[in-house]
Amino acid sequence: MTSDTQHSETGLATTALQTKLAVAMLPIAGRGKKRSQAGNLLRHAALIAICALAILPFLWMLSTSLKSLDATLEFPPRWVPDPIQWHNYLDVFRHEKANFLLWARNTLVIAVLGVAGTTLSSALVAYGFAKLRFFGRGPLFALMLATMMLPFPVTMVSLFSLFRWLGDNSGMAWLGTFKPLWVPAWFGSAFNIFLLRQFFLTIPMELSEAARIDGCSEMGIFCRIILPLSRPALAVVALFAFMGIWNDFLGPLVYLQRPEQFTLALGLQNFQSKAGGTSWHLLMAASTLVVLPAILLFFLAQKTFIEGIATTGTKG
Partner 1 sequence: MTKFRHEAWALVRGLAFLSPWLTGFLVFTVVPVCLSLYYSFCDYSLLQPPLFKGLANYRMLWHDPVFRKVLGNTVVYGLLALPLGMLAALGVAMLLNSKIRGVSIYRTIVFLPSLVPAVASAMLWLWLFNSKLGLINTTLNALGVANPPGWLSDVRWAMPALVLMSFWGIGNSVVIYLAGLQDVPRELYEAAEIDGASSLRQVWHVTLPSISPVIFFNLIMGIIGTLQVFATPFIMTGGGPARSTYFFTMYLYDNAFTYLKMGYASAIAWIQLLMVLALTALAAWSSKRWVHYQGR
* The one among 38, 70, 96, 136 contacting partner 1 by CB under 8 A: 136
Cβ atoms 312, 233 nearer than 8 A: yes
Return the residue of 70, 76, 213, 214 that touches partner 1, per CB under 8 A. 76
- Binding of partner 1 at residue 7 (CB under 8 A)? yes
Minimum gap (Å) between residue 243 Cβ and partner 1: 8
Judged by CB under 8 A, the chain residues 102 through 131 that form the site for partner 1 are 121, 124-125, 127-129
Q: Contact, 296 vs 307, CB < 8 A?
A: no
23 binds partner 1 (CB under 8 A): yes
SS3 7: coil
Q: Residue 201: phi, psi to the nearest 5?
A: -60, -25
Stretch that binds partner 1, among 3-11, 87-95, 96-104, 234-242 (CB under 8 A): 3-11
The b/e string for 87-105 (b: 16+ C-beta within 10 A; e otherwise) is ebbebbeebeebbbeebbe
Q: Residue 294 in contact with residue 243, Cβ under 8 Å? A: yes
Q: According to CB under 8 A, which one of 102, 108, 116, 140 is a site residue for partner 1?
A: 140
Nearer to partner 1, 232 or 252 (CB): 252
Q: How far is the CB of 30 from partner 1 (least distance, A)?
A: 4
Q: By CB under 8 A, which span of 51-59, 96-104, 202-210, 227-235 interacts with partner 1?
A: 51-59
Cis before residue 76, ω within 30 degrees of 0? yes
Find the binder of partner 1 among 38, 83, 96, 134 (CB under 8 A).
134
Residue 80 binds to partner 1 (criterion: CB under 8 A): no
Nearest-angstrom CA–CA distance, 8 and 6: 6
> From residue 227 to residue 246, what is the string marking binding to partner 1 with x (rule CB under 8 A)?
----------------x--x
Calpha distance 62→43 (Å, rounded) = 28
CA-to-CA dists, residue 29 to 23, 25, 32, 33, 43, angstroms: 11, 10, 8, 11, 14
- Residue 3 vs 229, nearer CB to partner 1: 3
Confirm or reject binding of residue 36 to partner 1 (CB under 8 A): no
Q: Is 139 in the site for partner 1 (CB under 8 A)?
A: no
The torsion of the CA quartet 38, 44, 47, 49, rounded to 10 degrees, works out to: -100
Q: Which residues have CB under 8 Å from 46's CB, separation 6+?
A: none
CA distance 189 to 182: 12
Smallest distance from partner 1 to CB 142, Å: 13
Binding to partner 1 (CB under 8 A): which residues in 247-276? 247, 249-250, 254, 264-266, 268-269, 272, 276
Closest CA to 61 of 292, 300, 275: 292
Choice from 25, 112, 173, 210 touching partner 1 (CB under 8 A): 25
Closer residue to partner 1 (CB): 168 or 260: 168
Tell me, by CB under 8 A, how many residues bind partner 1.
110
Which CB sits closer to partner 1, 112 or 157? Answer: 157
Q: What residues numbered 272-301 form the site for partner 1, per CB under 8 A?
A: 272, 276, 280, 283-284, 286-287, 290-291, 294-295, 298
- Name which of residues 150 to 209 contact partner 1 (CB under 8 A): 150-162, 164, 184, 186-188, 190, 193
CA distances from 180 to 104, 163, 270 (A): 18, 7, 20
